[in-house]
Structure 1
Amino acid sequence: MTNIESLEKRIALADEIRKIRKANKLSQMELAEKMGIARSTISKIENGEFAFSVDYLIKLADHLNFKIKLEKNET
């Protein structure tokens, strides 16, 4: 995977996280407080500027009430 492909996937994931947060009617600050992190970190995640760990993804899933599902590529 190229750096561009990786960035594109990170941005797509970031967009989904933003949509889910908004669907849960949470501000960035409210989500940050629930997760115990800075609001600026949420902003960076949602803008694809922060390559977060699996631990962050699990915390996001827990606090935004979404399921993480891995699927095999059909290539």
Structure 2
Amino acid sequence: MAHRPYPNADRALRQIARHYPDEPVMAMPECLRPLADSITRLRVNTQRAADQGFGVGDYRLSTRRPVVSGGS
């Protein structure tokens, strides 16, 4: 009998996946809730700051903001 490729790739993947256990679903403990909230706020604030940036199309050699000084 000649070798024939598997006729249906989705069916083959389902057969392979049948042998792997599902990932366990764990509820987040209440003691970690403040940490998760602070990480979410950090992510949102970082994205907001990145969106503001220097403006679209501007090239900056440095990420430092320009300093306005009254000295000579």
**TM-score by shorter chain over 0.5:** no
Task: Report the TM range for the smaller structure's normalisation.
Answer: 0.3 to 0.5
TM-score (structure 1 length as normaliser): 0.33
Structure holding more helix per residue: 1
Higher relative contact order (CA 8 A, sep 6+): 1
- TM-score, scaled to structure 2: 0.34
Larger Rg: 2
